[in-house]
Structure 1
Amino acid sequence: MLYGKEHVERYRATDGKEGHEWNGTTVLLLTTTGRTSGAERVNPLIYQRHGDDYIIVASYGGAPKSPDWYQNLQAHPEVEVQVMGDRFRARARTATPEEKPELWRLMTATWPQYDEYQTKTDREIPIVVLERASG
């Protein structure tokens, strides 16, 4: 099973032929800019489509704090996304309270553990909407 750095390397090398499908769901690569280092950080994340947008969850397995990639995109919302062989620029934003219930259902249908992760933490787990940049 692919995970972490190896997952990113195999995904990139094969345009997602290895790594897009993972544990019965689908994964994209999200590249953020480090909020303090300025360095690029790449994370394989479970996603779903919602219209033209890509939806990801900043669950961190239910840890008390948000994952670093989420903190990075709060500071630098311009990101790069790779889905299979398609690499594109996107703008990341946290789903609004009005959007979240529908998107949470979409994502828990894909990865039911998100409900369990939410019970492990007092923080509200954010859902992130990745909107493809035009042009």
Structure 2
Amino acid sequence: MTDKDKRHGSFSRWMQHRMNARTNRRIRRGRGTFMGMDVLILHTAGRRSGEPRETPVAWFEDAAGGEDTWLVVASGGTTRHPDWHLNLLGRPERASVELPGRTAVPVAARVLDGAERERAWRRVTEAQPRYAKYQSRSDRQYPLVRLTPR
């Protein structure tokens, strides 16, 4: 990795942090949509540091999971899962979600697989076809996570 790559990576992380903070403020002011999708704030803790993290994440209704159940897709990037997903799995006891007008709700996370994942993935891509396009450009299968209140 060159010095230029390192600087670019730092800048990208800084920009992502700023964009996330701006989106989180919008969600807290009651505007929980982004690019036509519903968005929540996912609270996790860093899997190594234990530091609190807040990440805006698009969510989808989960008819199979019942009321107050959310589906989130660990997309973003083509070669590895996003940090929020790794943090969620690394410290699941610290996970919660915050929706517009609501306080944070502690959640349990379960990565879907098999036929259950396929049914849920179909619902996600019907609601937002862009996810099928993103998935087709990646070498990894995007994890689909069901969040339920605990």
- Taking structure 1 as the reference length, the TM-score comes to 0.86
Q: Give CA-to-partner distance per residue, 1:32-89, whole Å, 9 cap, x none.
A: 11000101111111111212311000011x4210000001111112311012122200
Partner residue of 2:33? 21
1:66 is the counterpart of 2:78: no
Partner residue of 1:48? 60
Partner residue of 1:30? 42
Tell me how far apart the structure 2 counterparts of residues 37 and 9 of structure 1 sit (CA, whole Å).
Answer: 24
Higher share of residues assigned strand: 1
Tell me how far apart the structure 2 counterparts of residues 113 and 90 of structure 1 sit (CA, whole Å).
Answer: 27
Partner residue of 1:82? 98
Q: Give CA-to-partner distance per residue, 1:76-135, whole Å, 9 cap, x none.
A: 1231101212220001110122211111111112221111111111111100000111xx
Partner residue of 2:27? 11
Higher share of residues assigned helix: 2
Tell me the amino acid that sits aligned with residue 128 of structure 1: V
| Contact 1:77-1:93 at 8 Å conserved across structures | no
Tell me how far apart the structure 2 counterparts of residues 8 and 72 of structure 1 sit (CA, whole Å).
Answer: 18
Unaligned 5+ residue runs, structure 2? 1-18
Partner residue of 1:114? 131
RMSD of aligned residue pairs (Cα, Å): 1.6
Partner residue of 1:102? 119
Specify which of 124, 132, 135 is matched with residue 141 of structure 2. Answer: 124
Aligned length: 127
Runs of 4+ in structure 1 displaced over 2 angstroms? none
Tell me how far apart the structure 2 counterparts of residues 106 and 83 of structure 1 sit (CA, whole Å).
Answer: 21
Tell me how far apart the structure 1 counterparts of residues 98 and 84 of structure 2 sit (CA, whole Å).
Answer: 15
Tell me how far apart the structure 1 counterparts of residues 89 and 55 of structure 2 sit (CA, whole Å).
Answer: 15
Unaligned 5+ residue runs, structure 1? none
Tell me how far apart the structure 2 counterparts of residues 96 and 76 of structure 1 sit (CA, whole Å).
Answer: 20
Partner residue of 2:10? none
